[in-house]
Amino acid sequence: MSAPTQPPGAQIERTRLAWRRTTLTATGVLLFGLSTALPHRPGPAALAGLALMVLAFVGLVLVAYRRIADLSRTGGHQAGRYPAAFALLGLALTLPAAALILARG
Amino acid sequence: MWPAIRRWLDPTESGVGITPDYRFSLANERTFLAWIRTGLALVAGGLAVAAFVPNLRLAGVREVLAVGLVLLGAVVMIRAVDHWARSERAMRLGDPLPPSRFPAVLAVVLCLGALGLLALIVANVFQP
């Protein structure tokens, strides 16, 4: 397979949009988690779990933002460590949610 | 297992094989993101079960279901980066893309779960 010197713009744009869609989904998950947990007057441990989720979310947005910026530069096509970083932060968002459910149940 | 995890961070292993057509790499990346969104949706589903399913006659079933969905979402996210890395590596080496039964397995599991939930509703196991 030969690589073109400049990737077609549509592919880059579609990939940037995919990153944005994904952060939008993560935003929905965070807001949903907060809206269902906060009305129950969470104790300090639960608040710590929620804070972890918020931090993970901020990390997700930062990673996505940097990747989107990279994609706009020429030569920024390789995803490098972004997928691994994003998946790890996704876990940091997800696992406190499981703990919160168990703690409340 | 550790080589697989190292490959998540660097599927090219410092440049093994040849760089594939950028469009294939970007398509692989978009597929990874689609799987991440699927995982996130499962987490949202688990949170919804915990928040909205009323008390069941069998205590704890709701929590097991909710946590199960959330953990399934986590598994999907891990699998997303693993499949992305293995696909990227296969493209570099000119190998066939790694086959996977995961999508089919996930579809069957979710279908069974939905049918199970339907059965619970029909059997009216929710306390009045």
For the stretch B99-127, pLDDT in tens is 999 999 999 999 998 898 888 778 766 65
Under-70 pLDDT residues of chain A: 1-8, 75-76, 105
- Whole-angstrom Cα distance, residue B83 to residue A83? 11
Residue A97 touches partner B, C-beta closer than 8 Å: yes
Which chain B residues have a beta carbon less than 8 Å from that of A25? 36-37, 40-41
From the list A7, A77, A94, the residue facing B74 with the nearest CB is A94
Amino acid at A25: T
Which chain B residues have a beta carbon less than 8 Å from that of A4? 21-22
Given a cut of 60, is residue B43 above it in pLDDT?
yes
Residue A46 touches partner B, C-beta closer than 8 Å: no
The beta-carbon contacts of A49-55 under 8 Å, at least 24 apart in sequence, are A49/A96, A49/A97, A49/A99, A49/A100, A49/A103, A50/A96, A50/A100, A52/A92, A52/A96, A53/A92, A53/A93, A53/A96, A53/A97, A54/A30, A55/A92
Look over chain B and give the mean of its residue pLDDT values, rounded to a whole number: 89
What is the pTM assigned to this prediction?
A: 0.90
Which chain B residues have a beta carbon less than 8 Å from that of A21? 33, 37
pLDDT tens track for B51-75 = 988 877 777 888 998 999 999 999 9
Q: What ipTM describes this predicted complex? A: 0.89
